[in-house]
Structure 1
Amino acid sequence: MESQDKSIQSITADEIALYDRQIRLWGVKAQEKLRSANILLITFKALANEVAKNLVLAGIGTLTIVDHETVKEEDLGSQFFVAEENIGQNRAQAAAPSIHAMNPRVQLRIDTDDIHTKQPNYFSQFDIIIATELDFAMYTTINAACRLANRPFYAAGLHGFYGFVFADLISHDFVIERSKSNVPSAMQETQTRSIVGITTKKKDNKVIEMVTKRETYSPLILANTSPLPDEFTRLPRKKRQVTPLLTCLRALWEFQKTSGGNMPTFSRQDLESFTKLARDGHQELKLDISTLDSEFLRTFLQNLGSELSPVAAVVGGKLAQDVINVLSAREQPIQNLLLFDGEKSLAPIYPLHPFFPPEVENLMPAIPPVANVVPLDADLTTQ
């Protein structure tokens, strides 16, 4: 109770008026945590625009943006913090005045260094690190540095109609409120989530439980090769519901491992290599191969590297909201890969951890070679 009083005293009347709606939603203590948060945001493209907007308006303490790239003409169609007169300027510096104007109370720092030059200890000064629009090797490098510093890490990106958010919070405790049940709670709810404490309070003549839960996470390098939980593959109907976007994203990351971080082009060699990676990965996930058809593969490849503002708004909003939930230690956080399909307006979450079902512990069947599933017609190969 004493700490809550200190939080109330440290937030001014002006701040209470400014953040009144969200304080009513998540409380003064949560707002105080936001107010003191120091967040790093890497690569300031369309997705990071949305993340920054939501976090700055929520009233975080400090936002540091790292981006060494300049504003290009194609940025103007997907970003709202830069204009035509900013072409050729550093992307983060050009956006800084507009970001600051949204909420002058937030301390804004711009770093124009290449993120590849940062040493591992650089990330320890931040409370949360959000890396966007990087290749797989850089995601895993930053993720490893965050683990060494015991800092929560997010990786996120857009590919046209598609987007993803990956979370590695290492170990995260959060509290939920619920009506007290007569049935004893299972202390181990899932392979990654456990209950570490329960307290009660009375509210409106009802007994309310304050349940503290703990989620444990896996780094991206392990999640990328982990199987789907049995609940997604046990039944044929469940298998068919798993989006092929999961397979394609993992195939993209596997492709980047051997291509120096580059994305596949429409050359015959790249198409065949990517398709084999996708088909092999789909079978390794124990999914129905019929759900990975040539049309989806083609669409995914055509969307690579592009940005769409509506998709950025949805994915960026989900990412920013999860960061706020983590800082306030309320609500279930993303565990651990969220995928967004803008064509179907779906955003499933898959918990990917190196826990193998019993039936495959001693049985790893070879995957036979398959034919290329993407039709290599003249129009496609010449793009």
Structure 2
Amino acid sequence: MSNQGNHEASNQGISADEIALYDRQIRLWGVQAQEKLRSAKILLVTCKALANEIAKNLVLAGVGSLTIIDHEPVTEIDLGAQFFVSQETIGQNRAEAAAPHIRAMNPRVLLNIDTDNVHTKPPEFFGAFDITIATDLDFMTYTNINAACRIASRRFYAAGLHGFYGYVFADLISHDFVIEREKSNVSSHGQETPTRSIVGIATKRENDKVIELVTKREIYSPLLLANSSPLPEEFTRIARKKKQVTPLLSCLRALWEFQRTSNGKLPTFSRSELEVFTTLVNERHRELQLDISSIDSSFLRSFLENLGCELSPVAAFLGGSLAQDVINVLSLREQPLQNLLLFDGEKNIAPIYPLHPIFPPQIEHMASGEHHTTTTTSLPVLNSIPSNGVGP
């Protein structure tokens, strides 16, 4: 592992130079929040297009240290959407090639480059960081890192990019944050959602207004549980809302299941793998209690054709969203992501689904044998995908 960059002792107060450098963002979130950022240790796994955007935003925000781990070399494919590498860096380690450009953005941030394969790291490795952000990995690697972070009581994010599609998942274990609002005559409820509660309220006076400082607590689930959890009843109770649930959720779950049983590989366009993947999507769609009519072969074709691709605009959106959430979490301000954000660049939508093992009544009834109704409707199986993207 190599260390690069200059870094002042994090136990010292923020300097006048730093106040001048970060003036705009200090005006947004205050000096105390900036001090929390400058002492934070972040781990970023895999240095591809999405990680480029995350690193850029976190370094410019002034985090204390950023460690990037990636054992892969730069290839020609990386030049399409990654702005920290170039033709001259082909063959170099991807993280080492990006390091000079990241360091130049903000020399105050301590930049560490690790060229090991993340699979060789012991669980205690992840305990050295306040937040681990794992990008563009397979499902089992995500869950293993997530488990290591949980053991060490460290926050975890998983994020990935597949062409026009992408996702961000957050497991903050238990996270407290403060919301400022003008005092209302309506009393606050202690339990706002199944995962969010109010744990304290303080007040202050600003001019002629009384401002409430409301401390809220969000409880999270690890990715392994979230991936097998049902949608909240608010998404399935009303037929109109159920139809609006993006089929990307079923496709992503099917992809992760495919990877789990195929040593992390992506499905190819072979007939056998297309049939397996289609069956997995069908199963996941039903598990989520979604109407089979809300997904069709054209969406499956589009999703499969985008697998493994990188698009700069999608990377910019997802990377910016994740980095902003990390900043909010570190500064203990604003509502954090709870807990899965999906992005469909073709429809330009980014819904957020809180996925937790909290079963709505109808699923509990089905589990207890009170409901036995099933459907025999199936998704069409994709037998082949033409290279030009035109389906039958």
Q: TM-score, normalised by structure 2?
A: 0.93
Distance, in Å, in 2 between the alignment partners of 1:254 and 1:366 is 25
Matches within 5 A, 1:134-149: 134-149=137-152
Matched, 1:373 2:380: yes
Task: Sort the Cα spacing of 1:316 and 1:111 in 2 relative to 1 into closer, same or farther, 3 A.
Answer: same
Q: Name the SS of the counterpart of 1:363 in structure 2.
A: helix
In the TM superposition, what is the alpha-carbon distance from 1:11 to its structure 2 partner? 1.1
In the TM superposition, what is the alpha-carbon distance from 1:362 to its structure 2 partner? 3.2
In the TM superposition, what is the alpha-carbon distance from 1:61 to its structure 2 partner? 0.6
Aligned to 2:49: 46
Q: Which whole-Å deviations, capped at 9, do the CAs of 1:342-370 have from their partners, x for residues lacking one?
A: 11111110000000011221314586666
Distance, in Å, in 2 between the alignment partners of 1:378 and 1:242 is 25
The code of the aligned residue for 1:307 comes to: E
In the alignment, is the contact (CA less than 8 A) between 2:274 and 2:384 conserved in 1? no
Distance, in Å, in 2 between the alignment partners of 1:62 and 1:318 is 20
Structure 1 runs of 4+ with >2 Å offset:
364-372, 374-383
Q: Name the SS of the counterpart of 1:214 in structure 2.
A: strand
In the alignment, is the contact (CA less than 8 A) between 2:47 and 2:69 conserved in 1? yes
Distance, in Å, in 1 between the alignment partners of 2:12 and 2:126 is 31
The code of the aligned residue for 1:196 comes to: V
The code of the aligned residue for 2:249 comes to: L
Matched, 1:88 2:91: yes
Moved more, 353-362 or 154-163: 353-362
In the alignment, is the contact (CA less than 8 A) between 1:130 and 1:155 conserved in 2? yes
Distance, in Å, in 1 between the alignment partners of 2:236 and 2:32 is 41
In the TM superposition, what is the alpha-carbon distance from 1:376 to its structure 2 partner? 2.5
The code of the aligned residue for 1:333 comes to: P
Aligned to 2:66: 63
Aligned to 2:189: 186
The code of the aligned residue for 2:122 comes to: Q
CA RMSD of aligned residues (A): 1.8
In the TM superposition, what is the alpha-carbon distance from 1:10 to its structure 2 partner? 1.0
Q: TM-score, normalised by structure 1?
A: 0.95
The code of the aligned residue for 1:107 comes to: L
Residue 292 (structure 1) aligned to one of 275, 290, 295: 295
Matches within 5 A, 1:1-383: 10-364=13-367, 365=372, 373-377=380-384, 379=386
Distance, in Å, in 2 between the alignment partners of 1:382 and 1:261 is 25
Distance, in Å, in 1 between the alignment partners of 2:218 and 2:346 is 31
Identity across matched positions, percent: 71
In the alignment, is the contact (CA less than 8 A) between 1:297 and 1:374 conserved in 2? no
In the TM superposition, what is the alpha-carbon distance from 1:283 to its structure 2 partner? 1.1
In the TM superposition, what is the alpha-carbon distance from 1:55 to its structure 2 partner? 0.2
In the TM superposition, what is the alpha-carbon distance from 1:8 to its structure 2 partner? 12
Distance, in Å, in 1 between the alignment partners of 2:262 and 2:119 is 17
Q: Which whole-Å deviations, capped at 9, do the CAs of 1:183-216 have from their partners, x for residues lacking one?
A: 1100000000000000000112101100000000
Distance, in Å, in 2 between the alignment partners of 1:382 and 1:27 is 50
The code of the aligned residue for 1:284 comes to: E
In the TM superposition, what is the alpha-carbon distance from 1:374 to its structure 2 partner? 3.9
In the TM superposition, what is the alpha-carbon distance from 1:152 to its structure 2 partner? 0.3
Aligned to 1:4: none
Runs of 5+ unmatched residues, structure 2: 1-9
In the TM superposition, what is the alpha-carbon distance from 1:37 to its structure 2 partner? 0.6
Distance, in Å, in 1 between the alignment partners of 2:148 and 2:228 is 20
Distance, in Å, in 2 between the alignment partners of 1:51 and 1:200 is 35
In the alignment, is the contact (CA less than 8 A) between 1:8 and 1:28 conserved in 2? no
Task: Sort the Cα spacing of 1:381 and 1:188 in 2 relative to 1 into closer, same or farther, 3 A.
Answer: same
Runs of 5+ unmatched residues, structure 1: 1-6
In the alignment, is the contact (CA less than 8 A) between 1:266 and 1:381 conserved in 2? no
Aligned to 1:3: none
Aligned pair count reads: 377
Task: Sort the Cα spacing of 1:382 and 1:291 in 2 relative to 1 into closer, same or farther, 3 A.
Answer: closer
Distance, in Å, in 2 between the alignment partners of 1:274 and 1:265 is 10
In the alignment, is the contact (CA less than 8 A) between 1:60 and 1:106 conserved in 2? yes
In the alignment, is the contact (CA less than 8 A) between 2:171 and 2:339 conserved in 1? yes
Distance, in Å, in 1 between the alignment partners of 2:52 and 2:292 is 37
In the TM superposition, what is the alpha-carbon distance from 1:288 to its structure 2 partner? 1.1
Q: Which whole-Å deviations, capped at 9, do the CAs of 1:207-257 have from their partners, x for residues lacking one?
A: 110000000000000000000000000011000111101110011011111
